[in-house]
Amino acid sequence: MAPVKKKIAIMTSGGDSPGMNGVVRACVRMALHMGCDAYCVYEGYEGLVRGGDYIRKMAWDDVRGWLSEGGTLIGTARCMEFYERPGRLTGAKNMVLNGIDALIICGGDGSLTGADKFRAEWPSLLDELVEKKELTKDQVAPYKHLNIVGTVGSIDNDMSGTDATIGGYSALSRICEMVDYIEATASSHSRAFVIEVMGRHCGWLALMAGVATGADFVFIPEKPREDNWKEEMCSIVQKHRSLGKRKTIVIIAEGAHDKYSNKITPEMIKDLLADPKGLHLDTRITTLGHVQRGGTAVAYDRMLATLQGVEAVKAVLEATPETETCFIAITENKIVRRPLMQAVIDTKAVAKAIEAQDFDKAMSLRDTEFADQYASYMLTTTANLSTQFQLPKDKRMKIGFINVGAPAGGMNAAIRAGVAYCISRGHEPVAIHNGFAGFARHHGDSPLGAVRSFDWLEVDGWASKGGSEIGTNRELPKESGMEHIASLVKKYKFDALFLIGGFEAFHAVSQLRIAREEFPSLRIPMTVLPATISNNVPGTEYSIGSDTCLNELIDYCDKIKQSASAARRRVFVIETQGGRSGYVATLAGLGVGAVAVYTPEEGVSLGMLEADVRHLKDVFAKDKGQSRAGRLILINEKASKVYTAKLIADIIREEAHDHFESRDSIPGHVQQGGVPSPMDRCRAARLAIKCIQHLENFGRDAADRVMSDPMSSTVIGIRGASVVFTPMKEAEEKETDWANRRPIDEHWMYMKGTVDILGGRPAYPKPEQRLTGLKAKDAKRGLD
pLDDT of residue 615: 93
Helix axes 168-189, 299-318, angle to 10 degrees: 160
Of the residues 16, 116, 156, 612, only one is catalytic, namely 156
> According to the model, what pLDDT value does residue 777 have?
42
Give the C-alpha separation, 723 to 618, whole Å.
Answer: 47
Q: What is the pLDDT of residue 443?
A: 63
Is the model more confident about 189 or about 578?
578
293 assigned to a ligand binding site: yes
Non-local CB neighbours of 571 within 8 Å, separated by 6+ positions: 564, 595, 616, 630, 631, 632, 633, 649, 652, 660, 661, 662, 663
**Average pLDDT of the segment spanning 164-172:** 95
Asked if the 383-544+678-739 domain carries CATH number 3.40.50.450, the reply is yes
Q: How far is CA 529 from the centre of its chain?
A: 17
* 533 labeled part of a ligand binding site: yes
* Strand intervals (E) in 17-158: 37-41, 55-58, 102-107, 147-152
> Is residue 562 annotated as involved in ligand binding?
no
Q: Which helix (H) or strand (E) holds 329?
A: strand 326-331
pLDDT tens per residue across span 694-734? 999 999 999 999 999 999 999 999 987 789 999 999 999 99
Residues of the chain with CATH 3.40.50.450: 7-165+297-350, 383-544+678-739
Q: What is the pTM of this model?
A: 0.94
CA-based radius of gyration for the chain: 28
Is residue 667 over pLDDT 60? yes
484 appears as a binding residue in the annotation: no
Cβ atoms of 21 and 60 within 8 Å: the answer is no
Q: What is the pLDDT of residues 377-422, one digit of tens each?
A: 988 888 777 777 899 999 999 999 999 999 999 999 999 999 999 9
Q: Is 658 a catalytic residue?
A: no
Burial degree of 597 (CB within 10 A; 0-12, 13-18, 19+):
buried
Q: Is 735 marked as binding a ligand?
A: no
570 marked as binding residue: yes
H-state helical runs in 605-662: 606-622, 645-656
Please state, in angstroms and rounded to a whole number, the distance separating the CA atoms of residues 366 and 350: 8
Using left for φ > 0, alpha for ψ between -120 and 50, and beta otherwise, residue 47 falls in alpha
With contact defined as beta carbons under 8 Å apart, do 244 and 457 qualify?
A: yes
Cα separation, 369 vs 384, whole angstroms: 25
- CA-based angle 185:190:194, to the nearest 5? 70
Per-residue pLDDT tens over the stretch 306-362: 999 999 999 999 999 899 999 999 987 789 999 999 999 999 999 899 999 999 899
Confidence check: pLDDT of 741 > 80: yes
Rounded to the nearest 5 percent, the helix, strand and coil shares of the chain are 45, 15, 35
Measuring CA to CA, which residue among 607, 597, 610, 600 is closest to residue 651? 610
Buried/exposed code over 38-59 (b: 16+ C-beta within 10 A; e: otherwise): bbbbbbbbbbbbbbeebbbebe
Q: Is 49 annotated as a binding residue?
A: no
For 534-567, the pLDDT digits (tens) are: 999 999 999 999 999 999 999 999 998 887 776 6
Q: If one looks up domain 168-293 in CATH, what number appears?
A: 3.40.50.460
pLDDT reading at 781 higher than 50? no
User: Which residues in the chain are classed under CATH 3.40.50.460?
Assistant: 168-293, 546-674+750-758
Domain 7-165+297-350 is found in CATH 3.40.50.970: no
* Class for the domain spanning 546-674+750-758: alpha beta
Q: According to the annotation, is 741 in a ligand binding site? A: yes
Is 469 marked as binding a ligand?
A: no
Residue 200, marked binder: yes
Residue 782's contacts (CB-CB under 8 Å, 6 or more residues apart) are 732, 736, 738, 739, 774
Is there a binding annotation on residue 366? no
